């Protein structure tokens, strides 16, 4: 009797233990840190071996693995891990982590599966200092700030995709991104879509680079994204990763092949259900979790953008509403809140419209900066920022702009080149952390416009250094010349542009009273040359710079230094 009782008692205790935490036999977790030394802001990687059954390792409702950390300062962190290979008898998962503090981290792994939890043994590692700046975060209307306090303004252009099957094969990340980097640009924007980084797309089109697949995530997209992150790190380039685009939800566009469309095995019957259906939201969250788990460690992913021009899916060309605004806004609120919850690094989060606002979307708490696109009206860019900033109190970004939106017809190259230049300067002298980014990167590569970034970067660095991140708008008058002015520290910067087809002469009047010495120089963005300006007069109320003459479409930057 005693032996029978003991056996029954043991089984009861064992059953009680297994009810709360899975037994070791059911969820043995083995792990190994691959790095010999962990560096701050750099990737540390773990291999984790599981021997548990599952059907879909990418469905977090079925199975999820997290790394639970405590930072040297005592901050608790939760890092999603991702499935790499294997089957439900022996699978390999990975954790990729970038430390934002130096010192000792303690950690363990937590497996959740069908209501049960399994914890691994605990361990620890030391994070050592590195020369990297860290992740970008909000700072003010003009700048972002790295973890180490360094300030940042984004200067670059769109490189939304690598060459499609009908385009010149040379336009790849490997060619275009080094070109940007060596010419002073520090930022670009790129898309995930069915022809570029098609993470969710089983059926791809317009590409020779990717193949159709039956896998949950497209293996070619995963591989190329790994390569992109590594490339941007080597080049010191930061980028906005756009996870989806409006064409995905257009019935005459990507919807028929959409992984969310029920005819393709997805959960949704219509584009509206993409936003409103709980099952569709769960599928989106699986993607977000995977993006953070696999690539979230990258400090070069500056911002995550949910949608490119979502209004183009919401409205018809005649501005009739196809998808209710409330569904789109609620989706962005849900997804941004979820992304902030699972991302231990708190990447910047955004989304974009073309030209029609979605009711309520500019006020979403977890969207860090708002964004729109401007075509055929580049001259309106300076006025955009104050309007949106005053209304919503957030940084504002012009994520795309261009002379035309229809195509990159070379016969408009001269006009497009002019637009490319002035758009950058309009942003430089406006409150925005990312300067307006041109579209039609292929055309501008043919036009050899990338070296123009050198002059823009030169002035941007000078502004940041002079003002230590402080920018002050200053009123200015320059006659028939377009003029914008900001004060950074003890230096005034003035942007002058002749927007006309005739030479124009103007007298620059800066309403600043200063009785000590003043040094004025003129910077030519085209040649990157600086020459002194001697035609300067001061009064009790203003600084006057006379006889400034600009040829048609010519630009100048005046640099006015106050001598102490």
Token code pair at residue 221: 């997209």
- For residue 190, count other CB atoms closer than 10 A to its CB: 23
Domain boundaries, the chain: 22-128, 151-467, 472-562
d(CA 360, CA 366): 13
For residue 317, the model assigns a pLDDT of 78
Angle at 281 between CA 354 and CA 110, to 5 degrees: 125
Digit-coded pLDDT (tens) for 471-490:
999 999 999 999 999 999 99
pLDDT of residue 148: 97
* Confidence check: pLDDT of 448 > 80: yes
Residue 229's closest CA among 291, 152, 276, 165?
291
Cα dist. 560→94, 391, 510 in Å?
Answer: 54, 33, 10
Burial 330-347 (b: 16+ CB within 10 A, else e): bbbbbbbebbeebbbbeb
pLDDT > 90 in the chain, percent: 89
Residues in the chain: 564
* pLDDT above 70 (res 7): no
Q: What is the pLDDT of residues 295-331, one digit of tens each?
A: 999 999 999 999 999 999 999 877 788 999 999 999 9
For the 151-467 domain, the top CATH level (class) is alpha beta
pLDDT band at 103 (very low <50, low <70, confident <90, very high): very high
Q: Which of 234, 134, 243 is closest to 180 using CA atoms?
A: 234
Q: Which of 23-37, 51-65, 339-353, 411-425 has the lowest mean pLDDT?
A: 23-37
Measured CA to CA, the distance from residue 153 to residue 430 in angstroms comes to 12
Average pLDDT on 448-453 reads 98
**At residue 2, does pLDDT exceed 80?**
no
Does the structure show a pLDDT above 90 at 14? no
Kindly state the average pLDDT of the residues 417-434.
98
C-alpha dihedral sign at 307, 239, 80, 226: positive
Give the pLDDT of residue 67. Answer: 98
Mean pLDDT computed over 30-38: 97
- What's residue 24's pLDDT? 30
- Quote the tokens at residue 136: 């970008």
For the stretch 169-189, pLDDT in tens is 999 999 999 999 999 999 999
Summary mean pLDDT of the chain: 93
Q: Return the pLDDT at 199.
A: 98
Q: For residue 269, what pLDDT is reported?
A: 96
Quick one: 462 exposed, middle or buried, by C-beta within 10 A (0-12, 13-18, 19+)? middle
pLDDT at 454 over 50: yes
Confidence of residue 101 (pLDDT cuts 50, 70, 90): very high
Closest Cα to residue 103, out of 80, 70, 136?
A: 70
What is the pLDDT, as a whole number, of residue 318?
Answer: 79
Q: Is the pLDDT of residue 1 over 70?
A: no
pTM, rounded to two decimals: 0.93
3-state secondary structure of 20: helix
Does pLDDT of 27 surpass 70?
A: no
Fold: same for 22-128 and 472-562: yes
- Answer yes or no: are the C-beta atoms of 200 and 218 closer than 8 Å: yes
Q: Which of the 8 DSSP states describes residue 477?
A: B
SS3 for 120-173 is: CCCEEEEEECCCCCCCEEECCCCCEEECCCCEECECEEECCCCCCCCCCCCCCH
Q: Is domain 22-128 in CATH 2.60.40.10, yes or no?
A: yes
Give the pLDDT confidence score for residue 116 in this predicted structure: 92
117 pLDDT band (50/70/90 cuts)? very high
The enclosing H or E element of 29 equals: strand 29-33
pLDDT in tens, 229-267: 999 999 999 999 999 999 999 987 899 999 999 999 999
Report whether pLDDT(444) > 80: yes
CATH classification for the domain delimited by 472-562, as one of 3.30.1330.10, 3.40.50.10490, 1.10.3720.10, 2.60.40.1180: 2.60.40.1180
Question: Do the Cβ atoms of 506 and 494 come closer than 8 Å?
Answer: no
CA angle, residues 272, 277, 280, in degrees to nearest 5? 95
pLDDT band at 123 (very low <50, low <70, confident <90, very high): very high
**What is the per-residue pLDDT for 138?**
97
Give the pLDDT confidence of 199-222 residue by residue, as tens digits: 999 999 999 999 999 999 999 999
Q: What's the mean pLDDT in 59-71? A: 97
């Amino acid at each position: 009797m005693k032996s029978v009782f003991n056996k029954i008692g043991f089984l009861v205790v064992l059953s009680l233990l297994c009810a709360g935490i899975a037994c070791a036999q059911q969820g043995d977790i083995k792990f190994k840190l691959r790095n010999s030394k962990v560096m701050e802001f750099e990737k540390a990687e773990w291999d984790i071996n599981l021997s548990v059954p599952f059907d879909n390792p990418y469905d977090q409702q079925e199975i999820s693995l997290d790394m639970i950390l405590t930072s040297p300062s005592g901050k608790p962190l939760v890092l999603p891990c991702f499935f790499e290979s294997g089957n439900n008898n022996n699978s390999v998962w990975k954790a990729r982590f970038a430390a934002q503090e130096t010192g000792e981290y303690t950690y363990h792994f937590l497996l959740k599966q069908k209501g049960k939890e399994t914890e691994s043994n605990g361990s620890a590692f030391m994070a050592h200092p590195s020369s990297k700046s860290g992740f970008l975060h909000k700072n003010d209307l003009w700048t972002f700030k790295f973890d180490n306090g360094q300030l940042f303004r984004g200067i670059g252009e769109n490189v939304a995709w690598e060459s499609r099957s009908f385009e010149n094969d040379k336009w790849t990340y490997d060619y275009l991104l080094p070109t940007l980097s060596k010419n002073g640009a520090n930022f670009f924007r790129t898309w995930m879509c069915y022809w570029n980084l098609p993470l969710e797309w089983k059926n791809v089109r317009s590409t020779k680079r990717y193949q159709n697949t039956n896998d949950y995530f497209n293996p070619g997209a995963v591989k190329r994204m790994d390569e992109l992150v590594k490339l941007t790190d080597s080049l010191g380039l930061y980028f906005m990763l756009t996870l989806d685009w409006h064409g995905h939800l257009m019935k005459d566009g990507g919807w028929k092949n959409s992984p969310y469309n029920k005819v393709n095995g997805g959960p949704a019957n219509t584009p509206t259900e993409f936003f409103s259906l709980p099952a569709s939201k769960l599928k989106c969250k699986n993607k977000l979790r995977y993006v953070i788990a696999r690539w979230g460690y990258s400090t070069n992913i500056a911002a995550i953008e949910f949608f490119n021009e979502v209004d183009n899916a919401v409205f018809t060309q005649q501005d009739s509403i196809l998808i209710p605004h409330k569904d789109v806004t609620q989706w962005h609120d849900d997804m941004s809140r979820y992304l902030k919850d699972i991302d231990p690094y708190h990447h910047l989060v955004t989304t974009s419209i073309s030209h029609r606002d979605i009711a309520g979307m500019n006020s979403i708490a977890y969207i860090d900066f708002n964004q729109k696109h401007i075509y055929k009206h580049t001259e309106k860019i300076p006025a955009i920022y104050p309007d949106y900033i005053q209304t919503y109190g957030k940084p504002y970004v012009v994520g795309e702009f261009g002379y035309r939106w229809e195509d990159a017809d070379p016969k408009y190259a001269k006009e497009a080149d002019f637009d490319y230049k002035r758009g950058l300067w309009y942003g430089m002298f406006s409150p925005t952390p990312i300067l307006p980014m041109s579209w039609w990167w292929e055309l501008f590569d043919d036009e050899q416009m990338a070296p123009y970034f050198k002059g823009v970067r030169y002035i941007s660095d000078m502004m940041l250094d002079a003002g230590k991140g402080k920018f002050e708008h200053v009123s200015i008058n320059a006659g028939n010349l377009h003029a914008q002015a900001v004060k950074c520290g003890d230096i005034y910067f003035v942007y002058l542009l002749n927007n006309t087809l005739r030479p124009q002469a103007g007298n620059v009047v800066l309403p600043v009273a200063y009785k000590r010495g003043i040094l004025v120089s003129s910077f030519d963005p085209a040649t990157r040359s600086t020459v002194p300006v001697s035609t300067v007069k001061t009064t009790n109320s203003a600084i006057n710079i006379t006889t400034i003459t600009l040829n048609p479409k010519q630009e100048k930057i005046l640099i006015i230094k106050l001598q102490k």
